[in-house]
Amino acid sequence: MIKTRPLSFPKKFHWGFAAAAAQIEGAAFEDNKGPSIWDVFPTIPGKVHNGDSPEVACDHYHRYKQDIALMAKLGAKNYRLSVSWPRIFPSGRGPVNPKGIDFYNRLIDTCLAKGITPWVTMFHWDLPQALEDEFGGWRDRRTVDAFATYADTIVQAFGDRVKNWITLNEIYCFIHQGYADGTKAPGHKLPAKVVNQAYHHALLAHGHGVRAVREHGGRGARVGLTDNCVPMIPVTETPGDIAASQRAFIERNVRVLDPIYRGGYTATYRKIVGKDAAKFQKDDFKLISLPTDFLGLNTYTGEFVRAGKGGKPEILAKPRSYPAADATWLAHASQAMYWCPRHVAEIYGVKSVVITENGAGYDDVPDAKGEIMDLHRRDYVRCCLRELHRAIGDGVPVDGYFLWSFMDNYEWQDGYRIRFGVVYNDYATQKRTPKLSAQWFSKVMDENRIV
Ligand code: NOJ
């Protein structure tokens, strides 16, 4: 008789959903929240699709109770949310806004009451606009000082109930895309030297996030960075291509992972960055390389690599017909989910990887019956989970998986056009409808295996 072998995950594997404040909360100017750079960016013509702003988004600020109830109904035991810095410090620093603290107290308590463990990201891109206006945002070290106080404040406020902390989300995106190519807020196109300095400041902020958790997090507190290092997939799983993919991985991701895991700017960093290297102070790397408890990976896509002449890595261009999501950067390279965790474990000795985001963005449309048959999303996520399962089976230490995202939300410069949710959001009525992928993922979480 033919039997299906269950593709089970380890017993204590953490399944959950992920989202971020600016993408779902709305209430952008309510209860004393200060503007963030993402409230201002959409007003710059041509920067955001349709000029869409996060002002209302999913109105989660007012609907969080029903959202968390739905999340619980779908069986999530973990939820990765972020705190909005300008809700806590409307001007980035200075007096704390008690109404901001109250909101996250209510949100965290609601999660806990529903049996959902909150994983809290300190910074998911919504920098207070005041810090951009006064200091030039991450270009200036004073933003790091402001972040340190903010991190201390939120860990002190929520650390009695929040035990899983993520310092920063995707340094590459908010630094490179914010200051080098200008596709994300604050939308600058600045010289490489300035950009590398901004990277350095982000690394310092990460260090402060870790320090804040160690100082104020209390018993059982854990902390890590969420990185979106570019996965490098060997075209053939043979020693030559694997070695080339490792080299390509180090080189492409040198600005973030090397300083954190190797405690400094290595020879590889200096070779790649050259005269544009960041300036640093004597003790900076003590902070930057403070040990963490896990590394969060946001893994959506990857590059294919083969060994060229003398083993030199060659990154292959993807042909036009390579399958992708409607978010066109998201080529469906599911093997990234095997190789990215493996590379960070093998290269940097990471002992615990948590997939803090994976998913796919499309222009989903309800059918005549109002159902959303997103088989495309289900298939891609399923392929990714198979690769993750294989990685765990091979001994890669992966401890959790968070699906991005719980519901459709504000997709930054793509506005509301691209939907990443497994729950459909009708923005006109704010009605939430679980898609087919939500029903499927709910079973995955429940049975702790790929169904
Ligand atoms: C990464 C980001 O962290 C998240 O905010 C974004 O919406 C998703 N990827 C999809 O692009």
Which DSSP letter does residue 52 get? Answer: -
Rounded CA-CA distance 50/37 in Å is 17
Q: Which residue has the tokens 């930057």?
A: 288
Decide if 236 is inside a domain.
Answer: no
Distance in angstroms (rounded) separating the CA atoms of residues 241 and 413: 35
Does some domain include residue 88? yes
Residue 170 CB less than 6 A away from ligand 1: yes
If one counts every other C-beta atom within 10 angstroms of the C-beta of residue 40, the result is 17
Please check whether residue 90 lies inside any domain of the structure: yes
DSSP string of 384-427? HHHHHHHHHHTT--EEEEEEE-SB----GGGTTTSB--SEEEET
| β-bridge pairing 117-123 and 423-426 | unpaired
Q: Is residue 6 part of a domain?
A: no
Which residue puts its alpha carbon closest to atom 11 of ligand 1? 411
**Does the beta carbon of 20 sit less than 6 angstroms from any atom of ligand 1?**
yes
The best mutation among 38, 174, 226, 357 to test binding of ligand 1, ranked by most ligand atoms within 8 Å of the C-beta, falls on 357
Task: Decide whether any atom of ligand 1 lies within 6 Å of the 357 Cβ.
Answer: yes
**HEC profile for 304-319?**
EEEECHHHCEEEECCC
pLDDT of residue 151: 99
Mutate to test the pocket of ligand 1, among 298, 358, 380 (most ligand atoms within 8 A of CB): 298
C-alpha 1 to ligand 1 mean position (Å): 44
Residue 114's domain comprises: 11-231+247-300+326-450
Q: What is the pLDDT of residues 232-262, one digit of tens each?
A: 999 999 999 999 999 999 999 999 999 999 9
Q: Which 3 state secondary structure label does DSSP give 80?
A: strand
170 given a catalytic annotation: yes
**DSSP 8-state assignment for residue 274:** G
Domain-located, residue 311: no
Is 107 domain-assigned? yes
Q: What length is written for the chain?
A: 451
Write the CB contacts of 195 (distance below 8 Å, at least 6 apart in sequence).
175, 176, 179, 180, 276
Q: Is residue 2 part of a domain?
A: no
Paired sense of beta strands 303-307 and 313-316, if any: antiparallel
The predicted structure's pLDDT at residue 431: 98
pLDDT in tens, the chain (451 residues): 999 999 999 999 999 999 999 999 999 999 999 999 999 999 999 999 999 999 999 999 999 999 999 999 999 999 999 999 999 999 999 999 999 999 999 999 999 999 999 999 999 999 999 999 999 999 999 999 999 999 999 999 999 999 999 999 999 999 999 999 999 999 999 999 999 999 999 999 999 999 999 999 999 999 999 999 999 999 999 999 999 999 999 999 999 999 999 999 999 999 999 999 999 999 999 999 999 999 999 999 999 999 999 999 999 999 999 999 999 899 999 999 999 999 999 999 999 999 999 999 999 999 999 999 999 999 999 999 999 999 999 999 999 999 999 999 999 999 999 999 999 999 999 999 999 999 999 999 999 999 9
What pLDDT is stored for residue 386 in this prediction? 98
Task: Output the pLDDT for position 197.
Answer: 98
Q: Which atom of ligand 1 is nearest to the CA of 298?
A: 1
Question: Residues 170, 303, 387, 411: which is the catalytic one?
Answer: 170
The pLDDT of residue 408 is: 98
Domain count, the chain: 1
Confidence at residue 83, expressed as pLDDT on a 0 to 100 scale: 99
* CATH code where residue 360 lies: 3.20.20.80
Is residue 242 situated within a structural domain? no
Q: Does residue 357 carry a catalytic annotation?
A: yes
Q: For residues 85 and 130, what is the distance between their CA atoms, to the nearest angstrom?
A: 11
Q: Which atom of ligand 1 is nearest to the CA of 228?
A: 1
Which residue, among 178, 281, 137, 291, has the nearest Cα to 225 in the 3D structure? Answer: 291
